[in-house]
Chains A and B, each alone.
Chain A
Amino acid sequence: MKKAISHVGKLSLNAIEEVGYAFMLLVESLEWFFLGKFRNQSVRLAHIFHEAMSIGVKAVPIASILCFSVGMMLALQGLETLKPYGAQSQVVTGIAVSVTREFSALIIGIIVAGRSGSAITARIGTMKESQEIDALRVIGINPVRYLAAPILIAMMLVLPLLTVIGDFLGMLGGAVYTSFELNMTVATYMNRSFEVLSINDVAQGVSKSIVFAIIIVLVSVSNGFKVTGGSEGVGRSTTRSVVLSISYIIVADMIFTFFLTR
């Protein structure tokens, strides 16, 4: 019994420590980004660009396909549910709003967490295990500035962009399916969608995606820096990082939506 309590205690201490560490990472990364040049140790734009390419541009095809499919799926379900009420045309509004506010950001967050989050943890973890992080430090290069800050900035730039692309493709997916079912061209559908959408809907999704970006980076980077135990440890941390960031994203999304829809 005692043991169980002490175990719970230890777990909660670890959890608090992890949150604290992640928060420190966030503050330090932003500090380096904004103040680095005054210390003659700036965050290199080339690094940010490089990260943005590997996180963002290379994720465009898969993200597009998924958002398109989700849009189509929503149309399918929506038309099916609304048919008894004869309100099929409402499907346009439903898809436009739910994709921009919710699904696009969520899908993008999850796919990027899986794609890049795991890669980031694996890369940093491997660097830690091979003493490359130590090597950076003895050269005088702060690892947070050199590794974490560019990823954070890149992710915060790229995820909103991907989300906007996802918005468009989600609606397009809905349009393609709906155009078969209802007597409506893809163009008309899209025009109707843009009419019903407000800037608020898009902003909601985009602001979520920024939060997701921060979650993905903090979780994956901190798990990378904390790797111990060789390549097995890297594997363990990578899995942990993906599972955690996806879970946090979904929970954060729920909290976010709760407050935004009230």
Chain B
Amino acid sequence: MNTAAQVENNLPHQVAPDVVIDVKNLVTHYDDKLILDDINFTVNKGEIMVIMGGSGSGKSTLLRFLLGLNTPTSGTVSLLGKDITQMSAQEMYEMRKQMGVAFQGGALFGSMTVAENTQLPLREHTRLDENTMRIMSRMKLEVVNLAGFEDLMPAQLSGGMIKRAALARAIIMDPKLLFFDEPSAGLDPVVAAELDELILRLRDAMNMSIVVVTHELDSAFKIADRITVLDRGKILMCGTVDEVRNSGNERIHNLLNRKPRQDAVDVDEYMGRLTGRNIKGSLPD
């Protein structure tokens, strides 16, 4: 299935892979709680990296740090060779032009039409002619198969259409880096498969480097060049599709077979949780 990596083309990255995302020793906390523990991975140019994990694995949180929406406790996140954790607001503003993000729920602006949504990054960052902007947004809507829907409001769109419109907005500036949060969540399998196809086409045509966060196995195996598996804030493994599939790791195996998590039971702690009092008889905090 992993044809994506071998697609015949003359893109430079296959001569010498060059790293566009480099996460080093990333540690993050929420209040005092450790959320991500020593995360290290890289994404090469033109590569599709899928970040996988169950709910609560920290994958959505990791995405927020890749996007520079949160600041880590320690560690670095480098995009296109620059550490975004140390950037000034102005440098980050410039970096944003190279990044496209499609959020899980689309995050389209409810007060704007589909076309206005897709044009917003252009209006913010460029001084292009109105005609050029209109054609560009129609072209992108054409790419995501939403031609003719440009004057609708987000509330009038179906779930799959919202995700496609969000993708159109994410790629309007032809970004070098594309981030896609849960492309197939909540979609029926046919629509989800279309989106997977679209992601592959985008990478091939525009040589984008793409990070996809998902919990859907089928989708991950179909589009990924490499997969990073997260579990409870740690990287379980990072490898090619085949490596992940043939991994002997029990947790990964459970994840692949959709087995529920079986943690070791600590009797004191568990009983305390159920009864609301621990052995010493005082109420837990």
B-contacting residues of A (Cβ < 8 Å)? 39, 41, 126-127, 130-132, 134-135, 137-142
Contact status A134-B107, CB under 8 Å = yes
In the complex, number of A-B residue pairs with CB atoms less than 8 Å apart:
47
Considering the complex, give the chain A residue whose CB is closest to the CB of B96: A140
| Interface residue SS majority, chain A | helix
What's the least CB distance linking A5 to chain B, in Å?
A: 15
**Closest 8 A/B residue pairs (Cβ):** A140-B96, A135-B107, A131-B107, A138-B101, A131-B103, A139-B121, A140-B93, A132-B107
| B104 surroundings in chain A (CB, below 8 A) | 131
Output the residue of A130, A131, A139, A142 with the most chain B CB within 10 A.
A139
Distance, CA A130 to CA B110, complexed state (A): 10
A-contacting residues of B (Cβ < 8 Å)? 64, 67, 69, 89-90, 92-93, 96-97, 99, 101, 103-105, 107-110, 120-121, 124-125
Our pick among B67, B105, B109 for the contact of A138 (Cβ within 8 Å) is B67
| A138 surroundings in chain B (CB, below 8 A) | 67, 69, 96, 99, 101
Say whether, besides A138-B69, A139-B121, A139-B124, A39 and B107 are in contact (CB < 8 Å). Answer: no
| B99 surroundings in chain A (CB, below 8 A) | 138
Say whether, besides A39-B90, A139-B120, A141-B124, A134 and B69 are in contact (CB < 8 Å). Answer: yes
Distance, CA A130 to CA B93, complexed state (A): 22
| B121 surroundings in chain A (CB, below 8 A) | 139-140
Interface contacts beyond A132-B108, A134-B64, A134-B69: sample of 16 additional A-B pairs, CB < 8 Å, sorted by A: A130-B105, A132-B107, A134-B103, A135-B101, A135-B109, A138-B69, A138-B96, A138-B99, A139-B120, A140-B93, A140-B96, A140-B121, A140-B125, A141-B120, A141-B124, A142-B89
Contact status A140-B109, CB under 8 Å = no
